[in-house]
Amino acid sequence: MTAEQATALIAERFAGAQVTAGIPLVVMVPPDQWGAFAQFAKETLGCQFFSFSSAVDWKADGLEVIARVENLDAGFAVMMKTRLGPGVSTCASMVPVYRGANWMERECWDMFGIRFEGHPDLRRILLEDSWVGHPLLKSYAVDTPYPPYR
Amino acid sequence: MAMKPPNVPVIPAPVWRNFKELQEWEQLHKTRPEGDQHSQAFTSLTEGIHGFPGGFLVTTTADAFLNWARKSSIWPVTFGLACCAIEMMATFASRFDVERLGMVPWASPRHSDLMIVSGTVTIKMAPMLERIYAQMPDPKWAVSMGSCSNSGGPFRHGYHVVKGVDRVIPVDVYVPGCPPPPESLLNGLLLLQDQISHFRKTGRRAPPTPKVD
């Protein structure tokens, strides 16, 4: 499996995905195919290694979830991206496919408030349970009073 | 040939068998009234001695003696929060050697007189910091080391940073710098010694140094 073969396979299987060649291979997946693409990346593309997952807040354009998975044997990586769309904060969880995604998605929930459906244990991981809001959202005011500390 | 099993010593059970017992014990200590009991006893004694002709000479000397003893054996609790702790360790180590001033970094708040808050205090850490400070016996002092604990420093506009440790505990000396070099912290500790030598017998604190940040 090379990056070119992977590109061809993705184009064949996921017509709605836009692939940008490069290192890593950037794949923009429609949000409803997020879970299926993770399964495909692990089983067909051989991307056994889950590197990280995070999110980006594009303000009016909504949230974007990103994840990087790698095929360590063939030496290529796939950067998966999906745009959830304005006002949407639910996404399919990758935990059934990659167990390493568990804490990463908890952090995503903590910081961006993205509710991963199918996640076994979606709690806050870095901030305390009593925290109000999700601080990495652009709409979060960092000077929100938090007596007596802030 | 059968091996003889080694003689394993029996380790005694810990004093607190579980965390709950420790919490109850701490609660018992928290219910103690505010202030230093020994200082109050000393105050009433000195008030009595003041009544005698020339008694103030005795009390002044006793105060000076006690404060000399206090300032010559400050034990800072080892409490490093961030990169300032590296500079604090350098201050404790042999090159700067605060032990010649009677300061021994001590790994127990129960035996310590001073807390050097060295680093960024996050909102998640602040309750623990408060708790360790509450575990220290009176009279106790606190040094805020570095910009982060003085005011939040470069992380002041972060969502998780306490904007100055003086929002959590009372601070006696503020040491500016990012991080303050050992010389700077040493200067702060000498300032603290100077404050302690003017420690009032009422148990009230000397006014803090002007905040520089």
Encode pLDDT of A88-140 as tens digits: 999 999 999 999 999 999 999 999 999 999 999 999 999 888 888 899 999 98
- The C-alpha atoms of residue B89 and residue B40 are separated, in whole angstroms, by 35
b/e A86-121 (16+ beta carbons within 10 angstroms → b): eeebebbbbbebbeebbebbbbbbbbbbbebeebee
**What local confidence, expressed as pLDDT, does residue B19 receive?**
58
Helix (H, G, I), strand (E, B) or coil at B30: helix
Mean predicted confidence (pLDDT) in B117-131: 90
Give the residue from B73, B68, B166, B85 showing the smallest Cα distance to B114: B73
Report the C-alpha gap between B190 and A142 in whole angstroms. Answer: 37
Spatial distance between the Cα atoms of B40 and A81, rounded to a whole number of angstroms? 67
Provide, as residue numbers in chain B, all residues whose Cβ is less than 8 Å from the Cβ of A143: 157
pLDDT tens digits for range B133-178: 988 887 888 999 999 999 888 888 888 899 889 888 888 899 999 9
Q: Which positions ≥6 away from A13 have C-beta within 8 Å?
A: A40, A44
| pLDDT tops 70 at residue B206 | no
Q: pLDDT at position B213, please?
A: 46
- The pTM of the full predicted model, rounded to 2 decimals, is 0.73
Instruction: Quote the tokens at residue B175.
Output: 């040491």
Give the pLDDT confidence score for residue A23 in this predicted structure. Answer: 85
Distances (CA, A) of B40 to A85, B44, B60, B200, B205: 66, 6, 16, 11, 14
CA dihedral B23, B24, B27, B29 (to 10 degrees): -100
pLDDT given at position A30: 93
Predicted confidence at residue B62, as pLDDT, reads 74
A1-53 pLDDT per residue, tens: 888 888 899 999 998 888 988 888 999 999 999 999 999 999 999 999 999 99
- What length does chain B have? 213
- Which pLDDT does position B203 carry in this prediction? 47
By the CB < 8 Å criterion, does B189 face chain A? no
Give the pLDDT of residue A22. Answer: 85
Interface of A with B (CB under 8 A): 126-128, 135, 140, 142-143, 146, 148-150
pLDDT value for A105: 94
Task: Judge whether residue A55 has pLDDT over 80.
Answer: yes
CB atoms A148 and B167 under 8 Å: yes
Residues 6+ apart with CB under 8 A from A76: A1, A2, A3, A6, A23, A24, A25, A70
Sequence-distant (6+) residues with CB within 8 A of A62 are A83, A84, A85, A86, A87, A88
* Shortest CA gap A148–chain B (Å): 6
A-chain CB neighbours of B124 within 8 Å are 126-128
Mutation target vs B (from A140, A142, A144, A149; most B CBs, 10 A cutoff): A149
B168 touches A at CB < 8 Å: yes
- Shortest distance, CA A137 to any CA of chain B (angstroms): 11
* B125 in A contact zone (CB under 8 Å): no
Q: State residue B18's pLDDT score.
A: 56
Give the pLDDT score at A21: 87
pLDDT, tens digit, 9 for 90 and up, residues B62-104: 777 888 888 899 999 988 898 999 999 999 999 998 989 999 9
* ipTM of predicted complex: 0.75
Give the SS3 label for residue B78: coil
Mean pLDDT of chain B: 79
Phi, psi of A39 (to 5 degrees): -60, -45
Inter-chain residue contact A142 with B126, CB threshold 8 Å:
no
pLDDT of B42 reads 64
HEC letters along B184-206: HHHHHHHHHHHHHHCCCCCCCCC
Nearest to B159 among A128, A142, A148 (CB): A142
